[in-house]
Structure 1
Amino acid sequence: MRVTRKRLCSLLLCVYSLFSLYAAYTVFFKSYVHSRTHRVAHKKNTHAQEPSLGKQDWNPWENDEKQIQVTAEQRYAFPISAPVKFRVQIWGKAAIGLYLWQHIFEGLLKPTSTAAQWREGNLREGKTHFSFITGPAVMPGYFSVETDGVVLVLNGREEAKIAYAVQWLHYVQTLVETHKLQYVAVVLLGSEQCNNEWIQPYLKKYGGFVKLLFLVYDSPWINEVDIFQWPLGVATYRNFPVVNPDWSMLQASRPYLCNFLGTIYKNSSRETLLAVLRQNGLNHHCWISARERWQPQETNESLKSYQDALLQSDLTLSPIGVNVECYRIYEACSYGSVPVVEDIMTLGNCGNSSLHHKAPLRLLKSMGAPFIFIKNWKELPSILEKEKNLSLQEKIQRRKKLIEWYQHFKAQMKQKFIKVLETSFMQNNKDG
């Protein structure tokens, strides 16, 4: 009996030891192998969605993609010995904040849904940590402020927007006065006529607390000292996406010479544009979709139609509206469709500054935008005639140049934005 019990105990001990060994193997080895398999399968699925280029096809973005990958790895891989020197929080209370974060900074947001009440993201550039928050739930006093400085993104296009912007400025002023913030910058979607006097009392030069102002449109205030010009960008409020150029976008033949999808205002140059196209029979060669009233909201169908028009047209016609600078210009660049821009100043107070004399579109012109600028839409027939005679290879090279320029433009704007902020912050430390 004793022998039997002894054997039973030995057997149980043996089984327990084998189970322990199996558990250890599962935890330390099998799970690792499983995670690797999962990652490989995920990469295969990703590549399956991309167009096959073939071994003999040349990818013009191969070097750029490798550089972007290296840059991304460097951005997020920081040794412990390189501490964060600046902390900047961006409060996106206007749609152009999404252009700044997602298109210029190439930052991610969680959750990804545009309908979310609160969205946030984080990234690091050099020794500066940037965080971004946006959404209807981002309200004054309802979130923690743990940062050295704030970039407040505001809309000042109309009276109702200005009133809302002023509420935020008053809240930030309180934080500065109670020493919870060291410095403040504002990115402002200004008036299309450049009537932005309402913000002057908040600027430091006028006794306020806003040290830096990044202002959209050709305001004569731009001085490259404390007021800088900022691009309008794409219509993020209508869910225009971040477009990643691919080989088919560059290579494919486009069935339309040009496109124009937009509102036709009475007695505007847009009426002239349509008349020129019809009189010369060119409307059959272009994707034209005109409407009499402006529609602020985009449906999935209308957004897809608009993106298809950009993708299938070699040129995007950009007649002036209330201001020469419009979302269409940047959206066309995203798809490699060359903007044909009506180069005429609109009514209002926009124009040349003491430093810049290339208005309108000073910012884009100063950075060598490869657009077609015209003074009158009667020039269009000759432009489209030249288009008909261009070879596909010539158009491919032009698309490549435009897309590369736009990528460089956004990268330059990001670096300038960061440099201006960091320089201002360091000056604040010296002043303190």
Structure 2
Amino acid sequence: MPACKLFLVADEYCDGLKLQFNNLIQLRQYEGRPHFAHFNTSTYVPLGPRADFAAAFRGMELTELKRPLDRRYIVNAIYSEDTSQSRKELTRILEKDADFLKLITSSTGSNRALIRIAKVWTQRLGGDHLSSDQYAKVLAESMFTLSPVGHNPESYRIFEAIEAGSIPVIALDQAYLSHACGDPLWRYRETGSPIIFIDRWQDIPRVLRELISNPAALANRQEAVVKWYREFMKRRMRAMEDTLLS
């Protein structure tokens, strides 16, 4: 008879450490350094993009990803702000920081950012929410995608942005550092991810302005992020297959 494999999913708050059978878990979503120590026999499986996004993105039938400076938006920020203090801080900057507002305003006065912030997270989509098709198009037209810590620093948004050629920006701020999972994105950095990691959201205007000022380097970074992502996912899926077949 085939051996049973336990796969721990949706452990956003890292409560899995409390499970009596945690030493039997062989596959898991979400991880961090404490998990790496406690679940030393488990294989980490990335979230990847959501199925509805993947279907919408395929439906766009793009022959190639747009280069950063050919995109309509400099940045997008789409989230509900009640799930972390990091998101509330980012909202304040997006709405009131003079340097950021100057960055996203073109020479003709048009707004080059797509910002949709809901006060409260809900599974029911309202009028302020984007459909899967709209969301996929926004990512495909954005140079950068802001990805603040929510219930967990790892989110579908990171994978969806890279699929669309939009470079994720992640703040390793206090909300990240104090998360129960303990440095959940350590594996990204240690595999050389070109994702943009900053110390705090206040640095956003300066960092993005510096990146945009060098078009060639920005285009190279976009290519590097996509290449890293494909190799990263390939390695993780191979590890998952090896675990399932062992």
* TM-score strictly above 0.5: yes
Query: Are residues 1:271 and 2:88 paired?
Result: yes
Which of 293, 317, 320 does residue 120 from structure 2 map onto?
A: 293
Query: Are residues 1:320 and 2:140 paired?
Result: no
Q: Distance in 2 between matches of 1:273 and 1:301?
A: 20
Indicate the residue corresponding to 1:226 in structure 2: 41
Identity of aligned residues (%): 25
Indicate the residue corresponding to 1:217 in structure 2: 31
Which of 177, 180, 183 does residue 349 from structure 1 map onto?
A: 180
Indicate the residue corresponding to 2:77 in structure 1: 260
Give the TM-score taking structure 2 as reference length.
0.79
Rate the CA distance shift 1:402–1:267 in 2: closer, same or farther, 3 A.
closer
Query: Are residues 1:376 and 2:200 paired?
Result: yes
- Asked if structure 2 preserves the Cα contact closer than 8 Å seen for 1:250 and 1:400, the reply is no
Q: What is the CA deviation profile of residues 357-405 of structure 1, one whole-angstrom value per residue up to 9, with x for unaligned ones? A: xx230222232221111121110110121133132x4433322222222
- Aligned positions of 1:283-432 closer than 5 A: 284-297=111-124, 302-344=131-173, 345=176, 347=178, 349-351=180-182, 359-391=183-215, 393-422=216-245, 425=246
1:262 partner amino acid: Y
Q: Distance in 2 between matches of 1:228 and 1:222?
A: 9
- Asked if structure 2 preserves the Cα contact closer than 8 Å seen for 1:190 and 1:217, the reply is no
Indicate the residue corresponding to 1:249 in structure 2: 65
- Aligned positions of 1:5-404 closer than 5 A: 181-197=1-17, 199-201=19-21, 205=23, 210=24, 212-218=26-32, 220-223=34-37, 225-236=40-51, 239-241=52-54, 243=57, 246-251=62-67, 253-265=70-82, 268-277=85-94, 278-280=96-98, 281=101, 282=103, 284-297=111-124, 302-344=131-173, 345=176, 347=178, 349-351=180-182, 359-391=183-215, 393-404=216-227
Rate the CA distance shift 1:267–1:408 in 2: closer, same or farther, 3 A.
closer
Rate the CA distance shift 1:254–1:195 in 2: closer, same or farther, 3 A.
same
- Asked if structure 2 preserves the Cα contact closer than 8 Å seen for 1:257 and 1:387, the reply is no
CA RMSD of aligned residues (A): 2.8
Q: Distance in 2 between matches of 1:366 and 1:218?
A: 13
Q: Distance in 2 between matches of 1:219 and 1:267?
A: 21
Q: Distance in 2 between matches of 1:301 and 1:376?
A: 27
Q: Distance in 2 between matches of 1:315 and 1:289?
A: 15
Q: Distance in 1 between matches of 2:154 and 2:123?
A: 17
- Asked if structure 2 preserves the Cα contact closer than 8 Å seen for 1:249 and 1:335, the reply is yes
User: RCO greater where, 1 or 2, for CA within 8 Å and sep 6 or more?
Assistant: 2
1:194 deviates by: 0.7
Indicate the residue corresponding to 2:107 in structure 1: none
1:298 deviates by: 5.5
- Asked if structure 1 preserves the Cα contact closer than 8 Å seen for 2:82 and 2:121, the reply is no
Q: Distance in 1 between matches of 2:227 and 2:239?
A: 18
Q: Secondary structure at the match of 1:287?
A: strand
Q: Secondary structure at the match of 1:271?
A: helix
1:251 deviates by: 4.0
Give the TM-score taking structure 1 as reference length.
0.47
Q: Structure 1: 5+ residue runs without aligned partners?
A: 1-180, 352-358, 426-432
- Asked if structure 2 preserves the Cα contact closer than 8 Å seen for 1:231 and 1:363, the reply is no
Q: Secondary structure at the match of 1:289?
A: strand
Q: What is the CA deviation profile of residues 253-304 of structure 1, one whole-angstrom value per residue up to 9, with x for unaligned ones? A: 0121111011122872223223223322145332111111223256995222
Q: Distance in 1 between matches of 2:234 and 2:83?
A: 38
1:222 partner amino acid: F
Q: Distance in 1 between matches of 2:124 and 2:227?
A: 30
The structure with more radius of gyration:
1
Q: Distance in 1 between matches of 2:237 and 2:15?
A: 26
